[in-house]
Amino acid sequence: MKSKILEDLNMHRRNNKKCFALLIDPDKLGSSDLDLLIGQIRLYPVDYIFMGGSLMVQNNMDICIEKIQSQLSIPIIIFPGDTYQLSRHADAVLLLSLISGRNPELLIGKQVIAAPYLKQSNLEILPTGYMLIDGGKPNSVSYMSNTFPIPRDKEDIAACTALAGEQLGLKIIYLDAGSGALDSIPVSMVKRVRQEIDLPIIVGGGIRSAEQAIDICRAGADIIVVGNAIESNPEFLKEMSTAMEILNDKISLPK
Ligand code: 1GP
């Protein structure tokens, strides 16, 4: 089984390099929007492209991935809203276990269904403890998964959930306030989770400013995910990409 992306991520973590992932929902992008976005990414690079959505009504995931791969060499990681969103054209998949919820289908059911497909694919599997945190409004993940998010002031619950994920052998923890969240994950919660676990931490949901992203990185996140804010304003990609470069220049430790 390939493990390059996870190895890189752990190396970045050791070197205190923070990464930036752009979330693309293929449903929300027309082909001219995608061309525009690819042009922007050439100018303002990202470390990873996450691809997925809570619900997809158009079948253009593969087309989208192939188009990006033909023009950019940035790892594409599937962030699946469901098993139908798996694509063997991508580089890796976040194999999500919704550990903040108590819905067995999303803890093990979907994973069983996906297992034979994943075995036959060439995708790198990234076993990920996915934690939904209250982002200030109801969100699609909560509705579609039939689970409650962890309240945003319950840092001990978040920390113990992440710790249980680590003890169960998951390799990454993803703290998500949900796409378009009013409030991103509290910095104090990221700090608390960071104190508890030694895994790479992905943070996303409702990040709309570079300052927010930097604060979250300094609190201990390893990958920042932005979707909505760049979808609605592609200029924000420049701001984020530049801010991450500055942050990494300032805080990178010598190898
Ligand atoms: C959602 O973490 C992602 O699952 C990104 O959220 O679209 O709000 O940036 P946004």
Task: For the chain, give the percent of residues with pLDDT over 90.
Answer: 89
Which whole number is the average pLDDT over 191-219? 98
- 79-101: per-residue pLDDT in tens? 999 998 899 999 999 999 999 99
Q: How far is the CA of 226 from the centre of ligand 1 (A)?
A: 5
**3-state SS, one letter per residue, for 47-66:** CEEEECCCCCCCCCHHHHHH
User: Residue 3: pLDDT above 90?
Assistant: no
Residue 53: predicted pLDDT: 85
Q: Which residue from 226, 230, 236 has its CB within 8 A of the most atoms of ligand 1, so it is best to mutate?
A: 226
Cα-to-centroid distance, 180 and ligand 1 (Å): 6
Q: Is the pLDDT of residue 255 over 60?
A: no
User: 228 - beta bridge partners?
Assistant: none
Task: Tell me the C-alpha distance between 124 and 92, whole Å.
Answer: 4
149-164 mean pLDDT: 98
Mean pLDDT, residues 149-169: 98
Distance CA 247, CA 32 (A): 32
Residue 232: the pLDDT is 92
CA of 117 to the centre of ligand 1 (A): 26
Nearest to 126 by CA among 187, 80, 85: 80
From 50, 173, 174, 176, the mutation candidate for ligand 1 (largest count of ligand atoms within 8 A of CB) is: 176
Q: What is the mean pLDDT of the chain?
A: 95
Name the residue with the closest Cα to ligand 1, atom 5. Answer: 205
pLDDT band at 32 (very low <50, low <70, confident <90, very high): confident
Question: What is the structure's pLDDT at 250?
Answer: 64
Please give the pLDDT value at position 1.
Answer: 61
Average pLDDT, integer, range 234-246:
95
Q: Are 252 and 15 in contact (CB under 8 A)?
A: yes
Q: Are 203 and 190 in contact, with CB atoms under 8 Å apart?
A: yes
Task: Output the pLDDT for position 111.
Answer: 98
Q: Which domains does the chain have, with CATH numbers?
A: 5-248 (3.20.20.390)
Binned at pLDDT 50, 70 and 90, residue 252 comes out as low
Q: Which atom of ligand 1 is nearest to the CA of 176?
A: 2
The whole-number pLDDT of residue 27 equals 87
Handedness of CA 49, 4, 200, 94 (dihedral sign): positive
Statement: residue 69 has pLDDT above 70: yes
pLDDT bracket for residue 143 (50, 70, 90)? very high
CA distances from 229 to 13, 194, 221, 235, 240 (A): 25, 25, 19, 9, 10
Report the residue among 22, 23, 216 best suited for mutation to probe ligand 1: largest number of ligand atoms under 8 A from its CB.
23
213 CA → ligand 1 middle, Å:
12
Average pLDDT over residues 141-148: 95
For residue 124, what pLDDT is reported?
A: 98
Q: Which atom of ligand 1 is nearest to the CA of 135?
A: 8
Q: Which residues contact ligand 1 via a Cβ below 6 A?
A: 23, 176, 178-181, 204-207, 225-229
pLDDT of residue 64: 94
* pLDDT above 90: residue 54: no
Confidence band (pLDDT; 50, 70, 90) for 149? very high
Confidence band (pLDDT; 50, 70, 90) for 161? very high
Do 203 and 178 touch, CB atoms closer than 8 A?
A: no
